[in-house]
Each structure stands twice: as structure tokens, then as C-alpha cells.
A and B are shown apart, each in its own frame.
Chain A
Amino acid sequence: MKYTIKRLLGLIPILLAITFLSFGMMRLAGSDVVEQKMFNTGQVVSEAQLQAAKAELGLDRPFIIQYGSWLNNLLHGDMGVSYVSGKNVFDSFVEKLPATLYLTVASIFLTVIISIPLGIISAVYKNKIWDYLIRFLSFIGNSLPNFFVSLVLMYILSIKLKLFPIISKEVSLQSVAMPAITLAIAMSAKYLRQVRATVLDELGKDYILGAKARGVKFSITLWKSVMRACLVTIITLLALSIGSLLGGTAIVEAIFMWDGVGKLAVDAINMRDYPIIQAYVMWMAIIYVTVNLVTDLSYRLLDPRIRLEDAAHE
């Protein structure tokens, strides 16, 4: 409990830093937004008009005060309006979030069902043909950029075989397939290696030999002991993959026209729509930090040794 509170308190400076950084970055870029907006009207703009426009948006106040009021608004769910669509940033962000989460969950699910069995097979048949084959596939998967995979999948599955729609018109099981496969290929390639390493490590321990000596079936040792011991590593991997997924989805979402926050961000970047970019960066960071915290805390539920170690320290 003490640990949980400590970690939660430790989150506060990080969250503050994240908001400060996202605010600062966009303010650096955003200083010319007023000018751009005015010049876009095609009229000659005087310095006074420029100043008035800046004052109207509160851009003439000191940086820290601007940050304070921005943070205050943020806490009330107000992130300003998009420069392009004029819609509320927070609303459009929340509107797109479910699609991204759906994609994330689908690709993590695929990653789990690909990487864990393959990693275990690879470890159990170490240096046999299956192991070499799986490691070869993992190497290839690791060397493929996801936009290339997307386009190849599109070419083969949509254009040649006509299995899936090229562009997802709606959020459905069929339309999520290709983006999820794309993301899962890269992640599985990375994680099956680590599952393999963890399982190998565990298989080398004495209790495995002991169980073998006592005549326990290998499959029982594998599923009851090894898998349980590997759970912590696997959970960590999954949590970490959420971080890389959140970033990785941007490109894939843009390619497959998947209507999530990643595509929203890419569109916003192309249009220099800073409030949206700001919201995107900040929310992704917050989700990422939170997921990491939850993972850390979940270890303690899964592995009593960590709990005991901490108790000894306190």
C-alpha cells in the first residue's frame, strides 16, 4: 500500500512535466499561428491588429501564466479548439479514442497468440529446426518497417486476393484485421524472442530437473510451473508494447484510413493544427505512464517475492 501511494505521488511531477513540455513545445511553434491566421485572410495586417489578436487569445501574457490557465482549463476537460475544424479538441479526441483502443487491443491479442506459443516452441526445441525457423521469421519481422508491411498486406490481401477491404469504412472485425496484423507482426517478432529467452532461462533452473527426476510429465512442468514463472515477463512485455503501439498506430492508422487518434494526429500534423497535436502527445504520454504504473503494481500481485522484498525494506 505504501508503495502504491509512493508511486502515485511520483506520478505527479512526471504528469506536470509532460503537460509543461507539451504546452511549451506547442507554444514555441504556435507563436506564429496568429500571424499565419491573419495573413491567410489575405489582408494587410498592422502590428496593432496582430497584438490585439494575440491579446484576445491570451498570448501576450507571461508564459507561466499562460501555462497555468491552460492547465486549469485542461483539468476541466477543455483543451481549446482545433485551428482547422473549429471543433472542441477534447471532444474530437475522445470521439476517436475507441477506434484506436480497439485496434490496440486487437493487435495485442494477435501478438499474444502469435508470440507466446512460438516463443515457447522455440525455447523447448532449442537449436532444432523449429527454433531456427521461428528465429528466422522473428528476424525478418524485426526488419520490416510497418508501413512496408501495411502496403504489402494491402497489395496481397486486398488487391490480389480481395479478402479484406483496402480502406476501412467502419470499425469492424474485418476492417481491423489488416492494421492489426501489421502491428502484430512487428511486435510478435520482438516479443517472441523475449518469451523464448525467459522460458529458456526458466527451463535451465534446478526445479525443472527435479520435476523430471520425480517423473513429472514435461508438459505439466511446462504449463504449471514454467508458464507461471514467465507470467511477469510476459505482462511486462504486453505493457511495454502498449507504448510502442500507441506511437506505431499513427502510421498504420494513416495508411489504412483507420479513424482513430493516430490518424487524427497525422492529419493534424499535416495541417499544423497544434491544439490537436498537443492533445495527442499529452494523452499518449499520460496513457503510457499510467499503463507503466499499473504494470509495476501488477507485478506485486503476480509475484509474491517482490512484495516480500519490499516489506523487508520498509
Chain B
Amino acid sequence: MSKTKLFSKGKNNRVRLKIIVFTILVLMLLLTAIFANHLCPFDPYEQDLTIAYNSPSASHIMGTDAYGRDMFSRVLVGGKTSILSTLALVLVITIWGTIVGVICGYNGGVIDSCVMRISDLCLAFPGLVFALAVAALLGGGVGNAVIALAIISWPKYSRVARSQTLSTKETCYVQASIVAGARPGRIIVRHILPNIFGPILVTAMLDIGTMMMELAGLSFLGLGAQPPIAEWGSMMSNGRSMLQTYPWVVLSPGFAIFVSVVVFNLLGDAVRDCFDPKAA
């Protein structure tokens, strides 16, 4: 299904409304993440041991952590790290996976077999196990965690892109275009990409939440963001031992992850319903 159908009049109004509402929510989340530095009421990195472990109050609505840093500011700034790196990750694997998948599907042959065996291999490893190993290999850092997850996650996209390309290639208009002498590059850009856009978009949208959780999971294990950088997973991990006495230090970043994943999943589900009404 093509992009133009996304907002055609015949579409179910409820699905359209859902998409609009959830897009607004996602945009709000994104704007909060982008402008986190300007929105936070306190400096997220400024330590003040006199107010360490303050309970949530009017000035510090999520309390303060072990170094007296305002949790609300840290959660806001942590969101910038978590959300933006997740989006970068999903963008990279979507583009890379699509390019690889389209080339494999369109050309077939030796390249196709080789790439598909590599993706078999990537899929042969249980996802997070492999990511753990790669992240361990590369060492800490948000960038490295993103790379580790990218290395294991692209095959999913190339599979979708490949199978869609294979079926699109068989359609009459592509065959006609080949007969008319169009170059492969033109066919891919003009005919194939617009037609495989839907399923790939759906895969990517539904993946954002999962990726955010996995990225935060790596950080939680100390393989992602390194202190003092505010990031939700590592903030939860650092506060872990304080669960009994100062639960807000641990639970507020966790709640932030939950809310963002919910928002992205809502939009993902709505986009899926829009492209594939049968699944709804």
C-alpha cells in the first residue's frame, strides 16, 4: 500500500484519529527530549550533597539522587540520551536493512545467498546474548551499545525488504518497466521503494519500543551510557541498591522508559492498523 493511501478519505476515521493523536504525543516526547536541557529546572549534573536523597517535594518533584542531583532534570536529560539514541539506532538499521534487502531481492544470486546466510547467522544468536557479547567487545558507551544492537537487528529489516522486493518485482508494472528498458536504479527508486515502504515503516515503528528497552537494558548492565551521563537504564542501575530506602531514584527513570515505550508502541500499533487493517 502506498503512502498516498495513508490519509485517503476512505480510511477508517478511528485509525486516522489514532494516528494523529499518537503522532502528537510522540512529537511532544521528541520535543521534550530535544529541548531537555532548556526544560529542566535544575542542572542535571550539579552535585549538592546537602540535599542528597531528598524525597519528592514541590521543588524536586521526583526527589534527588545520591549526589543531590534533581531527579526530574536527570530524567528529562536522560530521555534525550535514551530517545535520540534509540531513534538513531532504528533509523540506521532501517536504512541499512532496506538497502541490503532490496539489493538482495532485486539481484538474487550469490550476493543474496551470502547475505541471507549472514542474516541466518545473526538470527541464530538469541538477540540480547549477541548484543551483550558485542557490547562487551566494544566496551561501554552509548555509541557502542547502538552499534552492538545494530549489528544484530538489521537482518529483520533486510528480510522484510527482500521478501517485499521479490513480490513487487513480479508485478506487471515492474515487468513493464524492465521491458521498457528502465535501469535497475530507476526501477528500485521509482517502483520498488515506494511500494515496500509500508511494511518497512510498520516494522520500524513497532521496533522503536523494543529497541529502547534493549538499549536501556544494555545500559542497565553497564554496557551503554557511562556515568555521569544521564541515561534511563544506567540511572536505574546506579540507584538499584537504594530501592528499599529511596525508591524514587530507581523507579522514576523506569517509569519514564515505560511511558515513552507506551507512546511509541501506541503509534506503532496505529500505523500498523493503518497499513494492514486485517491485523487490527
Are A and B interaction partners?
yes
Interface presence of B265 (CB below 8 A): yes
Interface presence of A272 (CB below 8 A): yes
Interface 9-mer from A39-47, A149-157, A225-233: A149-157
The reply to whether B258 and A145 form a contact with Cβ atoms under 8 Å apart is yes
Given contacts A145-B217, A152-B251, A254-B221, contact A18 B261 (CB under 8 A): no
Task: Report chain B residues within 8 Å CB of A14.
Answer: 120-121, 124
Interface presence of B240 (CB below 8 A): yes
Please tell me the size bucket of the interface on A: 35 or more
The reply to whether B257 and A246 form a contact with Cβ atoms under 8 Å apart is no
Task: Report chain B residues within 8 Å CB of A211.
Answer: none
Give Cα A243–Cα B220 distance, bound, in whole angstroms. 21
- Contact mask for chain B residues 123-153; partner A; CB cutoff 8 A; 1 contact, 0 none: 0111111111111110000000000000000
Q: Give B135's nearest chain A residue, CB to CB.
A: A269
Minimum CB–CB distance from B199 to chain A (whole Å) comes to 17
Task: Report chain B residues within 8 Å CB of A246.
Answer: 126, 129
Task: Report chain B residues within 8 Å CB of A144.
Answer: 258, 261
The reply to whether B128 and A151 form a contact with Cβ atoms under 8 Å apart is no
- Contact mask for chain B residues 166-185; partner A; CB cutoff 8 A; 1 contact, 0 none: 00000000000000000000
- Contact mask for chain A residues 128-161; partner B; CB cutoff 8 A; 1 contact, 0 none: 0000000000011011111110011011000100
Q: Give B118's nearest chain A residue, CB to CB.
A: A17
The reply to whether A29 and B137 form a contact with Cβ atoms under 8 Å apart is yes
Q: Give A140's nearest chain B residue, CB to CB.
A: B262
Give Cα A254–Cα B233 distance, bound, in whole angstroms. 14
The reply to whether B261 and A285 form a contact with Cβ atoms under 8 Å apart is no
- Contact mask for chain A residues 284-305; partner B; CB cutoff 8 A; 1 contact, 0 none: 1100110000000000000000
Task: Report chain A residues within 8 Å CB of B244.
Answer: 155, 159
Given contacts A18-B121, A139-B265, contact A269 B251 (CB under 8 A): no
The reply to whether A148 and B254 form a contact with Cβ atoms under 8 Å apart is yes
Give Cα A243–Cα B121 distance, bound, in whole angstroms. 14
Task: Report chain B residues within 8 Å CB of A270.
Answer: 222
The reply to whether A142 and B258 form a contact with Cβ atoms under 8 Å apart is no
- Contact mask for chain B residues 193-223; partner A; CB cutoff 8 A; 1 contact, 0 none: 0000000000000000100010011001111
The reply to whether B136 and A277 form a contact with Cβ atoms under 8 Å apart is yes
Interface presence of A266 (CB below 8 A): yes
Q: Give B120's nearest chain A residue, CB to CB.
A: A14
Task: Report chain B residues within 8 Å CB of A243.
Answer: 126-127
Interface presence of B247 (CB below 8 A): yes
Task: Report chain B residues within 8 Å CB of A247.
Answer: 126-132
Interface presence of B77 (CB below 8 A): no
The reply to whether A159 and B243 form a contact with Cβ atoms under 8 Å apart is yes
Give Cα A270–Cα B135 distance, bound, in whole angstroms. 11
Task: Report chain A residues within 8 Å CB of B250.
Answer: 151, 155
Task: Report chain A residues within 8 Å CB of B135.
Answer: 269
Task: Report chain B residues within 8 Å CB of A288.
Answer: 124-126
The reply to whether A284 and B213 form a contact with Cβ atoms under 8 Å apart is no
Task: Report chain A residues within 8 Å CB of B233.
Answer: 145, 147
Minimum CB–CB distance from B157 to chain A (whole Å) comes to 18
Interface presence of B236 (CB below 8 A): yes
Minimum CB–CB distance from B57 to chain A (whole Å) comes to 20
Given contacts A14-B121, A281-B130, 7 further A-B contacts (CB under 8 A): A18-B125, A144-B261, A145-B233, A146-B213, A148-B236, A154-B243, A270-B222
3 nearest interchain CB pairs?
A: A247-B128, A148-B254, A145-B213
Task: Please name 13 pairs of A and B residues whose Cβ atoms are closer than 8 Å in the assembled complex, sorted by A.
Answer: A14-B121, A28-B137, A142-B265, A143-B209, A145-B213, A146-B217, A147-B236, A247-B130, A251-B221, A265-B132, A269-B132, A280-B129, A285-B125
